[in-house]
Amino acid sequence: MFFGGKQKGNMKKYQKRFFCSLLLIVFFNIGLSGVFAIETTRDPLITGVDQDGSEDANQPLVLGLSPENSEVMVYLNGVYEGNAEINREQTGTDNFYYQIKQDLKEGTHSVTVIAKDKTSLRLSNVSNEYHFSINSLPAPTLIQPDEKTITGKVKPFITGLTVNNTFVHLFIDGKYNGKTDYLQHESGTANFKYVPFLNLEPGWHTAWAKTEDASGRISGASNVLHFRIENPNPAPTILATVVNGNTNANQPFIAGVAKNNSKIRVFVDKKLNGEFLVGAHISGTAHFNYKPFLPLTEGRHMIYATAVDARGKESVWSNIFYFNVGRVASDLAVKGEEQDVKKETEQTQGEEVKKTDKPEAVKETEEKKADDVVDADADAKEDKTTSEEANQDIKDILNTDGNGTSSQEKGLVNESKEQQGKLKMNLVIFIVFLFMVIAWIFWVNRELIKERREQNEKDKDDHKLS
């Protein structure tokens, strides 16, 4: 009886302990569940959709807030799009952002998010539904150059069309090259012409573009151009300007040589003045004379030319030739005509100058002899200020030899050679200066290394002594 009563008392004691432990466990679980329930019931919040800050206006950036220690799932137009990136703030609330991957069509779209706790895997309620609109910015259209373009220019013009009030960003061979100016046109569509800022190597290249408006929106990529840059044609050479009885000082003959059967384009003061075809010579180089279409104004003028082959490929610029048109030159031309009018009537012209509404061009033959020589010495004494120009004889182009070069070059005023000499001298000075700078840098570096070695040796000696 006593033993049974003792056992019964122990049972009651164990039961009490068991029920107390069970109650503690239940209360603990309820409290823990309440904590997680509070965390997971917090819904994420979409704060905005950024279209201006996005690289592509058709792929905006979704921004918002989410509970701590959670993942954010993004739904676009009710369809799961992906998981957002989270910025951990350690404040109980994190920031999230999501870059939409697909190119959205023009119109209104909606986005929602759901948060999932990483520990309990419980889902929040659906966030607020955020609506936004896509107003597409059209991509530009590139036109030239393309696969059919024949060019030897290392900086070919890239042309195209774009929507009004925009910039155009150009990419060449996959790398950003630059942008156009702000483009406007009353029609709503502006055309543009872009010149690469670096020379392109011969070979195949690609080009594409994007449009940007004043608000910072950027369009998608344009069509891609594939084009080839060939080695350029040989450039023509300008030899001299000649005034004789067939012309006057305001319309001097521009004489030069070029590759056979080339179309020569002559530029005066950086503007196209005329173009013509040269013939063929056994040497492969033909001689030409060109007379400007309209009289030139008084003052200093610049001449250069390019050669275009039968395929349409244009050369680089020829040498640049400078000459002056003024009162002294006109007086010399008049005197030359008066002195040699008899000779001109007796001489047989080697070629006929075609008289058309277009600019005149005459190819000089081997049979044409030197035209009238104007004596400039007397006029040089009258006006010393122009003695450097008037003290030389103004001659016609002489017969060419087998190599297509002139047999006499006296009296030709070619200021471009002087300028080239000055440029060479400036280049030499620059190179010497550059070498001096490099030598100085090496000397300073050497002294620093020497000083550092001495310091290291001194530190080692001090360390041994200590």
Backbone angles phi, psi at 25, to 5 degrees: -65, -40
Strand 225-229 to strand 263-268: parallel, antiparallel, or no bridges (unpaired)?
unpaired
Q: Is it the case that residue 208 has pLDDT exceeding 90?
A: yes
pLDDT tens, 321-349?
998 987 544 444 444 444 544 444 444 33
Q: Is it the case that residue 261 has pLDDT exceeding 70?
A: yes
Higher-pLDDT residue of 22, 1: 22
Q: Is it the case that residue 308 has pLDDT exceeding 80?
A: yes
- Both tokens of residue 455? 């310091």
Least confident of 107-116, 272-281, 381-390, 448-457: 381-390
Domain borders along the chain are 41-134, 141-229, 237-413, 415-466
Higher-pLDDT residue of 359, 221: 221
The CATH T-level fold of domain 41-134 is Immunoglobulin-like (2.60.40)
CA dist 80 → 61, 69, 131, 268 (Å): 16, 21, 16, 66
CA gap 112, 75 in Å, rounded: 5
Q: Dihedral, CA atoms, 161, 163, 168, 173, nearest 10 degrees?
A: -50
Pick from 205, 99, 112: which is nearest to 156 by CA? 205
CA gap 360, 353 in Å, rounded: 7
Least confident of 36-45, 48-57, 270-279: 36-45
Which class in CATH covers the domain with range 141-229? mainly beta
pTM listed for this prediction: 0.42
Higher-pLDDT residue of 30, 413: 30
Confidence of residue 396 (pLDDT cuts 50, 70, 90): very low
Is residue 246 within 8 A of residue 240, CB to CB? The reply is no
* CATH entry 2.60.40.10 includes domain 237-413: yes
Q: Is it the case that residue 402 has pLDDT exceeding 50?
A: no
CA gap 172, 167 in Å, rounded: 16
Mean pLDDT of 223-248: 90
pLDDT at 41: 54
pLDDT at 37: 44
Strand 79-83 to strand 70-76: parallel, antiparallel, or no bridges (unpaired)?
antiparallel
**Coil, strand or helix at 278:** coil
Is the fold of 41-134 the same as that of 237-413?
yes
Higher-pLDDT residue of 382, 263: 263
pLDDT at 237: 94
Backbone angles phi, psi at 83, to 5 degrees: -95, 140
Mean pLDDT of 235-252: 89
CA gap 443, 455 in Å, rounded: 18
CA gap 36, 23 in Å, rounded: 20
Least confident of 23-32, 60-69, 76-85, 419-428: 23-32
Is residue 190 within 8 A of residue 239, CB to CB? The reply is no
pLDDT at 445: 87
